[in-house]
Chain A
């Protein structure tokens, strides 16, 4: 596969151009082994951050940089829109996208699980023993769960009874199946950990989607939101309006609901204060931290949970040559852990990495924007938006004053735009 791509690329570029590049790189003494003198970028994680970075480096550098994307899955499955699968108005197939669209940019795809890297030798190690050399490594590993905080979920069996379903895929369908199997008159409870966690409005959207399903199929059933936070973390006014409106009597919201453990056998939560809470379908989002490859290799230098970076390049402040994107980051003020944000990180990082590898000037004034749509039912949607600029004095991203905001109220036009957003952002990453 690699050799076929290499041959095609060389033919396209022309032997002369390759020769000149090769000579220059060898003269500089920084050529990597393997016959190609192009700088090498290896990207880990084919989600919103990683796939975008891989595509944009290949596209913007016009293949002057070799890009390899390491991804363990067979296809991309989107977390945004996955609550519609839980609610029953969409399917896993509709939120899945193939990786093959990246081939036309010259991105080499490697299926595998990245487990570690050697920052001195500049190699990435995969679980199957493969090592991949890099000049710059980009990690976009999303989140992993801090199950150590919930001993009752230690076993695989416990995790399958009390699902998180916070990484779209088989668990999304499994949660849907638990809901369809539940008797009418049952209780679905979702526990939300203290912020920060992936997708701030996501749990509240999920509660709405389950309530929408109950309204139609199981009208005697209830949705219980148990939030460890002091208050609704995102889109509070818009969600509470729905809970007190179309979902009145179905959704109950409780704040300050910290848990000490989960009993998977009885489907109950051990509360920090008060009696256990039992449910018929129990959905627990465990506390989250940076994805394993980042957390296990010393990149999680913020509270041992998240990764700090230079916001101009997304390079780790812990390990040089390694860049980090997306939900694994110690996020800037008022910047959500969202797929949209990770896609924007991917482009700023892509532009910076190209400049770093080709001797250009890194953009000193990067901008990113965020848009999060949440479905209240199968058609009506609310959004939150923000625009962020780099602040050179504070060396972080700050929100642009006066920009951004929320929907005035849920509406069907934004339902159309939310579906359109999904198609365009998936294409922006993968097509």
Chain B
């Protein structure tokens, strides 16, 4: 069965089943269309609403997702020097980082 052929109601049912299954970790993002937006809002305090900074800290809006993902991983692994990002990057899973990076990539610069 193709995803595209599923009705909205069926998608909701699929999500509920996915939540109940042991593999809920990977299914959760698809179940919540606003999860990426909500996670990315964690970053806005320092990087600006929608990732558009109005001060010295760099903007994230419009940054390619792979660049943001790599930076977050490098912060987490201590490969990129930081004052604070090495500590904050450790707070998010790979899946969450990918969602956040993808969200910012789609925001206007």
Contacts and interface: CB of A to CB of B under 8 A. Distances in A.
Given A383-B83, A413-B83, A420-B46, A367 B96 contact: yes
Contacts of A364: 28, 32
Interface string A360-378: 0101111111010000000
Contact of A417 (B35, B57, B89): B57
B91 A421 contact: no
Interface residues of A, number: 44
A407 B32 CA distance: 35
A54 interface: no
Interface in B48-86: 48-49, 53-57, 83-84
Contact of A387 (B38, B47, B53, B88): B88
Contacts of B57: 417, 420-421, 424
Nearest to A369: B42
Contacts of A361: 31-32
A56 B87 CA distance: 27
B53 A424 contact: yes
B47 to A, nearest CB: 7
Interface in A247-299: none
Contacts, number: 117
Nearest to B44: A428
Nearest to B86: A405
A348 B46 contact: no
Contact of B91 (A387, A420, A425, A427): A387
How big is chain B's contact interface, by range? 20 to 34
Contacts of A383: 83-84
Contacts of B48: 424, 427-428
Contacts of B92: 367, 387, 400, 403
Contacts of A385: 84, 87-88
Contacts of A369: 42, 45, 88, 91
Do most interface residues of chain B lie in helix, strand or loop, or is the interface mixed?
Answer: helix
Interface string A208-250: 0000000000000000000000000000000000000000000
A325 interface: no
B46 A368 contact: no
B46 A424 contact: yes
B66 to A, nearest CB: 22
A425 B54 CA distance: 10
A363 B42 contact: no
A404 B88 contact: yes
B45 A344 contact: yes
A231 B83 CA distance: 26
Contacts of A82: none
B109 interface: no
Nearest to A423: B55
B107 interface: no
A383 B44 CA distance: 18
Given A387-B92, A428-B48, A365 B28 contact: yes
B39 interface: yes
Interface string A332-375: 00000000100110011001000100000101111111010000
Contact of A367 (B34, B47, B87, B91): B91
Given A403-B90, A417-B57, A423-B54, A371 B49 contact: no
Contacts of B32: 361, 363-365
B41 interface: yes
B45 A363 contact: no
Contacts of B106: none
Nearest to A361: B32
B55 A363 contact: no
A411 interface: yes
A419 B56 CA distance: 9
B38 A348 contact: yes
Contacts of A400: 90-92
B45 A340 contact: yes
Nearest to B53: A424
Contacts of B42: 344, 347, 367-369
A414 B45 contact: no
B84 A428 contact: no
B83 A411 contact: yes
Query: 7 tightest CB-CB pairs across the interface, nearest first?
Result: A387-B91, A403-B91, A420-B55, A423-B55, A403-B90, A420-B56, A405-B87
Given A347-B41, A351-B34, A424-B55, 19 more contacts: A60-B34, A344-B42, A348-B38, A355-B34, A367-B39, A367-B91, A385-B84, A387-B91, A402-B90, A403-B88, A404-B90, A417-B56, A417-B83, A424-B45, A424-B54, A425-B46, A427-B49, A427-B54, A431-B54
Interface of B: 28, 31-32, 34-35, 37-39, 41-42, 44-49, 53-57, 83-84, 87-92, 96
16 contacts: A343-B45, A344-B42, A351-B38, A367-B38, A367-B39, A367-B42, A367-B92, A387-B92, A400-B90, A411-B83, A419-B56, A421-B45, A424-B44, A424-B45, A424-B54, A425-B45
